[in-house]
Chains A and B, each alone.
Chain A
Amino acid sequence: MFRSTGSGLLVARIAWASLLRRRTRTVLVVLMIAMSLWGLLFMQGLYEGMYEQMIDNAIRSGSGHLTIYAKGYRLEPDIKKLITNIEEVARFLAKDQRVASVVSRINQEALAATANYSRNAKVLGVELGAEQKHGRLADYLRQGELAFGPKARGAVVGSGLAKKLKISLGHKLVLSAQATDNEVSAIALKVRGIIKTNNLAIDDGAVFIDQAKAAEFLGIGAGVTQVCVILHSEEEMVPLQQALRQKFTDLEVFRWDELYPALMQSRVMMEGFSYVTYLLVFAVAALGIFGVILVSILERIREFGIMLAIGTEFALIRKIVLFESFIIGFLGYLSGSLLGGLTLNYFRVHGLDLTAFSEGLDAFGLDAIMYSIIKPDYFVTAFLAVLLATILSVIFPLRVLKKARPIEAITKL
């Protein structure tokens, strides 16, 4: 047992001893706070991981952090609205240290048809080598290979589109689309790969073909319809967007959140969800500490009365009560954070396998294996929530105690 010197240690000594004296109750409240915190961290990390995964899929497989179009293309996509100064754009981006990778694409709406079925599709004329580095397209490959084969007469098809057309590897697919001369052009391709990105726009409609073949098929002499840029850091998105807008006034530059507002909304929704969850954890922690401290004070009213009688100032007793609640709150926070951090780290590495629900998740463009993320913010916010809960939960018990006069407290049995 340690020897206390000074009122600070005296406060700590009495508070700690009081908590130990009622250790079962103390442990239960600490567990209650820890479990709520664990639940909060787990839910938040997993949900944030889930939507960050959705955003990442959209960025990697679709827009990149920034997308460049010719002026007017986004509102009225037209194969004649081309980025013709592609080499100048490429040179500008190649010099910028913030840029991680760049790809160019030729996009055109098309009709994809087999002998029995036809569906609307989107032709994506790409350079496979660059795409693989850019969006790690190979990670999304579910069947076949990521290649266009001899004479570039192969295609890689989105999994949803393949399902709708009832095609698989080796099947023939005919694409018809309007070319730059306004005539309908057609091309027959063989399915060489099927990809699943969980970006619904890609999965349900994309047909990747060789860029040179696309240019030939659509009658494009020079130029592309889209340039996608991935950055080293999302924070550089706005400055680079502004720089590109200034440099290339004949082009339009969009951020991913401008192109996918629904994804951005889901991020905002998740933040709202997080606040609600924090509120719940805060309420659980506050009620737990409040209950324990109130009961503890009512049980010890005589003990506090003795202390007041022999000359203890109320301020010291207030410190004891606050210290007790801080210890409870801090231990709860510490164990909850540790448990939550370890759980999140496990699911960050191994992922939460929800393949049993994959069809339902597919409908929302979600991956069947969800990877959580961990942000220092979680722990800071949780700490502040527990701290606030601790302070608020002792206000009423302290008011009860403040009203107790030593003589009344001592005579209370």
Chain B
Amino acid sequence: MSEFLQVKDISKVFNPEQEFEVAALSGINLAIGRGEFVVISGPSGSGKTTLLNIIGGLDAASGGAVILDGLTLTDLAEKELCLQRRDHIGFVFQAYNLIPVLTARENIEYVMKLQGKSQQDCDARVVEIAEKLGIAQLLNKLPNQLSGGQQQRVAVARAVASKPKLILADEPTANLDSGTAAELMAMMEKLNREERITVIFSSHDPMVIAKARRSIILRDGRVVQNEITP
């Protein structure tokens, strides 16, 4: 498997050179292949979210490099990084983070619209994804008219709709009940398989962790385990 994503010696220090300096990540090195389904786990404060944010270009690393498909994200200016996020990375957040004034359909097609796709292409893709995720009947609803599980499905649909190379999901099931969480993971696994999208997610939940084909465990900002699950 080719090294699609390389994380090289990444470190992150919050409040550097101040009284409350916190080293959130130190010396993180990872190599993840295209189409992998990866979980990052570890106790609270171990640096899972910080690592995902740095990989996704949402946060700047204090040192090291993130290389996505040959492009060093950590060298890019904010505007270029923004375009990389738009075109190549899909995000699923713990708190769903849908745009509250847009309907489910508009949320799903939002990134495609930013990319300048035609309404026809958007419509076709929305229908395709909505059917896969079982949310076709929810498309005209606003986020506040949806349950947590439904909102997270829409968030997943938004993340995959523009066919990104990579999906980063930060504890996507943390606010869901176990049944809904299992359903969501099954859907993400299906999308990973069918759409050939690399998925990296963080979780505490053993049931969710068990779904991953590679498990990375962080503790105190360091990788303590990185292995392919049988």
- Residue numbers of A with Cβ under 8 A of B are 1, 3-7, 10, 13-14, 17-18, 20-21, 302-303, 306-314, 316, 405-407, 410
Contact = CB atoms under 8 A, between A and B. Distances in A.
Nearest to B86: A311
A127 to B, nearest CB: 75
- Residue among B97, B101, B102, B106 with max Cβ neighbours from chain A (10 Å): B101
B183 interface: no
A49 to B, nearest CB: 46
Contact of A308 (B82, B93, B103, B111): B82
Interface string B31-66: 000000000000000000000010010110000000
B86 A312 contact: yes
B201 interface: no
B85 A303 contact: no
Interface in B86-138: 86-87, 89-91, 93, 97-103, 106, 110-111, 113-114, 116, 118-119
Nearest to A16: B101
Contact of B99 (A5, A306, A313, A406): A306
A332 to B, nearest CB: 21
B119 A313 contact: no
A248 B99 CA distance: 79
Interface size bucket, B side?
A: 20 to 34
B100 A21 contact: yes
Contact of A13 (B83, B91, B102, B140): B102
A5 B118 CA distance: 7
Contact of A303 (B99, B103, B111, B113): B99
A310 B84 CA distance: 10
A1 B99 contact: no
Given A3-B119, A306-B97, A311 B85 contact: yes
Contacts of B79: 313-314
B48 to A, nearest CB: 14
B158 interface: yes
B119 A13 contact: no
Contacts of B86: 310-312
A410 B50 CA distance: 13
Nearest to A406: B58
A313 B85 CA distance: 10
Contacts of A313: 79, 82-83, 114
Given A312-B86, A410-B58, A21 B101 contact: yes
A309 B93 CA distance: 11
Closest 3 CB pairs of A and B: A311-B86, A17-B101, A306-B97
B114 A311 contact: yes
A410 B99 contact: no
Nearest to A18: B101
Nearest to A313: B82
The dominant DSSP class at the A interface is helix
A60 B121 CA distance: 72
B113 A7 contact: yes
A410 B93 contact: yes
A220 B110 CA distance: 92
A307 B102 CA distance: 12
A329 to B, nearest CB: 20
B71 to A, nearest CB: 15
27 contacts: A1-B103, A1-B140, A3-B119, A4-B106, A5-B113, A7-B113, A10-B113, A13-B102, A13-B106, A14-B101, A14-B102, A17-B102, A21-B100, A306-B93, A306-B97, A307-B99, A309-B97, A310-B85, A310-B90, A310-B110, A311-B86, A311-B89, A311-B114, A313-B82, A313-B83, A405-B59, A410-B97
B99 A407 contact: no
Contacts of A20: 101
Contact of B113 (A1, A6, A407): A6
- Residue among A14, A303, A310, A312 with max Cβ neighbours from chain B (10 Å): A310
- Residue among A302, A306, A311, A405 with max Cβ neighbours from chain B (10 Å): A311
A307 B113 CA distance: 12
A306 B92 CA distance: 11
A312 B113 contact: no
Nearest to B54: A407
Contacts of A306: 93, 97-99
Contact of A4 (B83, B85, B113): B113
Contacts of B100: 21, 303
Contacts of A410: 58, 93, 97
Contacts of A309: 56, 58, 85, 91, 97
Contacts of B106: 4, 13
B111 A407 contact: no
A3 B110 CA distance: 11
A308 B106 CA distance: 16
A363 to B, nearest CB: 60
A310 B118 contact: no
B99 A316 contact: no
Interface string B136-147: 000010000000
Contacts of A311: 82-83, 85-87, 89, 111, 114
Contacts of B89: 311
